[in-house]
Structure 1
């Protein structure tokens, strides 16, 4: 397993599939109690910019949080160049499609977690997989994150390629010891005798009135663990590509998904593809300022970009995607061109991804900066339940516009 460095150049549910020869009924486990009641509704954002808003339990329409904003300049991202003869798919379906394809390709790939089996996962990412692959490869576990995460790490040491689902990233704090002391270290402490090809994935970020414990931004917690790679998906295209690449990697990979992006729709290619786990995505080329972002904040940034273009600014938007290691090659080339950097994240300000990214840019590209780096982050408070207060804690597009205007003065 290659060492991981922050260095320059680092680079609508589906019908159940036909059953395999394994009799899933024979091995059927008693379903664990469902925790799905915790989850909120999500707006469906279509590729044609139309939005379907569902009613919440109180019968009112939820505030739209995920605009399908596209800047006026041509989008050169990989997703935009995808084959037009592909198929439209929601982000959670793209994750499932990538997972199913890898399970078909490699019999060593298995899934474990709470409600991942016949219930299909809390966000239906694994729906239909238990019927197709059986209960031995899609294993429902008790509500015991530390135990089943450790089981997944042990399975990886013996040659399997487990995909461990945390029903919510906040719950994986209960497995932090396994992820830190075993997942990240065993390759090194064993002198290279073991590789740990495990994927740990699940929903995180600020949802819509899910409360503090279900709205945690934990990227920086896991970023500090040596030996771990981290990626964050933001579109159906890169969700599938990153999922497939993470499963094939010999490194332990944490894949961050956002609860408010699962119903984002996009056309993706029919042919097989993967995304580079260590590569950022150029979302919008520009000249005046580099805006670095990831996950849900990509859409807040792109909404702000439309306003900025109308005001005469030409922002360059990069979805960093790889949270560890950073793709300092792509980032550095952008900084050398624009000489100004704005970081927009949903992670906490103190010790967040933005703080690490600021340090890396200052260390490597300080001479190219014409202004101090500006970082817009979430406030250092537990996420409130009240919708209006919750919105105040997260960076909004208007703040991004103001920051760019001040940065470019």
Structure 2
């Protein structure tokens, strides 16, 4: 199988979806001629034409509104928002229309749209280009929130999102776009949504993360392993609705739950997981549920952002402390 980066895998999935289904259309700012700000859509306009790959004005509310209208009329639009910090104008359409379409029409209409956006920090971008507000989106009933962590999962999860009959916000870890390569076969096979993936088996502590933060989480698991602490690493993948069964099963095995996310601590999605473990897995716990997160500040720019994001050292320290509980 060919090796490719995460952004190349996204491009491959988009091309596959468009080739398999003529109702799939792509739209957004500079997605056509320029191939998108991160080149995720490069070559699609040339292959599928300007009627299916649409360059839009600089208007995120317009992009999301067009997606809702297209989806209601039988198309499967995939809209691109250039950075997650620009997604806020889309909330009107996501909250008031996309997420309510099935309920509002009593199932007569659904809203099979995908809204893609780069997620998180790590590329030293200015303000509004490094947001991690996935918890805000996960709070919206009727909306799926999905985040890949590798080229393989990017391909399979994006195909699943496009084929899903309901709206999906698909968040792409910016600093993983070209960070590493993985083997991706263009076989058209989707990965299951609403399913967490156990990336590494362990017995002493469950480490849960998603997106780019999985990179540091996996490195921390390696470091803890050298100390004799075997961590089980879980990629949440779909944040809404998320796979409670896999989380609780892992915590029942290890007795410890460490949650790592890049987003600010207060109201972050890690708190939702912690609440679930407290409600349904309390008797399994050998130590308090612990979170390693970003800070309750606007993410700083340039080099300072490295001090904001969870580091391997912070994760290892938290894991080591948790394992001191008997």
Structure 1 length normalisation: TM-score?
A: 0.78
Aligned partners of 2:50 and 2:185: how far apart in 1?
30
Which SS does the other structure have where 2:17 is aligned?
helix
Deviates more, 1:184-193 or 1:130-139: 184-193
* Paired position in structure 2 for 1:127: 42
Which SS does the other structure have where 2:156 is aligned?
helix
Correspondences of 1:291-306 after superposition (within 5 Å): 291-306=207-222
* Paired position in structure 2 for 1:195: 110
Aligned partners of 1:208 and 1:195: how far apart in 2?
36
Q: Deviations over 1:275-314 (max 9, x none)?
A: 1111111110000000000111111011111211111110
Which SS does the other structure have where 2:189 is aligned?
coil
> In the alignment, is the contact (CA less than 8 A) between 1:376 and 1:395 conserved in 2?
yes
Which SS does the other structure have where 1:203 is aligned?
strand
> In the alignment, is the contact (CA less than 8 A) between 1:211 and 1:383 conserved in 2?
no
* Paired position in structure 1 for 2:192: 276
Aligned partners of 1:221 and 1:136: how far apart in 2?
33
* Paired position in structure 2 for 1:174: 89
Q: Deviations over 1:11-36 (max 9, x none)?
A: xxxxxxxxxxxxxxxxxxxxxxxxxx
Aligned partners of 1:382 and 1:247: how far apart in 2?
32
Correspondences of 1:179-328 after superposition (within 5 Å): 179-263=94-178, 264-328=180-244
Is 2:313 the partner of 1:398?
yes
Deviates more, 1:354-363 or 1:125-134: 354-363
Task: Return the offset for 1:272.
Answer: 3.0
Is 2:286 the partner of 1:370?
yes
* Paired position in structure 2 for 1:89: 4
> In the alignment, is the contact (CA less than 8 A) between 2:16 and 2:186 conserved in 1?
no
- Give unmatched runs, 5+ long, in structure 2: none
Correspondences of 1:328-407 after superposition (within 5 Å): 328-387=244-303, 389-407=304-322
- Give unmatched runs, 5+ long, in structure 1: 1-85
Deviates more, 1:89-98 or 1:364-373: 364-373
Aligned partners of 1:269 and 1:96: how far apart in 2?
13
Which SS does the other structure have where 1:215 is aligned?
coil
Q: Deviations over 1:211-240 (max 9, x none)?
A: 231111110111111100111011000000
Deviates more, 1:105-114 or 1:270-279: 270-279
> In the alignment, is the contact (CA less than 8 A) between 2:159 and 2:188 conserved in 1?
no
Deviates more, 1:301-310 or 1:282-291: 301-310
Correspondences of 1:21-40 after superposition (within 5 Å): none
Aligned partners of 1:270 and 1:126: how far apart in 2?
16
Q: CA RMSD in A?
A: 1.0
Do the aligned partners of residues 293 and 148 (structure 1) sit closer, same or farther apart at CA in structure 2, a change above 3 Å counting? Answer: same
> In the alignment, is the contact (CA less than 8 A) between 2:125 and 2:301 conserved in 1?
yes
Aligned partners of 2:172 and 2:106: how far apart in 1?
32
Aligned partners of 2:297 and 2:93: how far apart in 1?
27
Query: Bigger relative contact order, structure 1 or 2, given CA contacts below 8 A and separation 6+?
Result: 1
Which SS does the other structure have where 2:281 is aligned?
helix
Aligned partners of 2:49 and 2:124: how far apart in 1?
35
If each structure's helix is expressed as a fraction of its own residues, which one has the higher value? 2
Which SS does the other structure have where 1:337 is aligned?
helix
* Paired position in structure 2 for 1:39: none
Which protein shows a greater Rg? 1
Which SS does the other structure have where 1:163 is aligned?
strand
> In the alignment, is the contact (CA less than 8 A) between 1:288 and 1:340 conserved in 2?
yes
* Paired position in structure 1 for 2:16: 101
Task: Return the offset for 1:271.
Answer: 2.9
Task: Return the offset for 1:382.
Answer: 0.7
> In the alignment, is the contact (CA less than 8 A) between 2:83 and 2:128 conserved in 1?
no
> In the alignment, is the contact (CA less than 8 A) between 1:87 and 1:270 conserved in 2?
no
> In the alignment, is the contact (CA less than 8 A) between 1:114 and 1:121 conserved in 2?
yes
Aligned partners of 1:386 and 1:254: how far apart in 2?
27
Which SS does the other structure have where 1:239 is aligned?
helix
Structure 2 length normalisation: TM-score?
A: 0.97
Task: Return the offset for 1:369.
Answer: 1.2
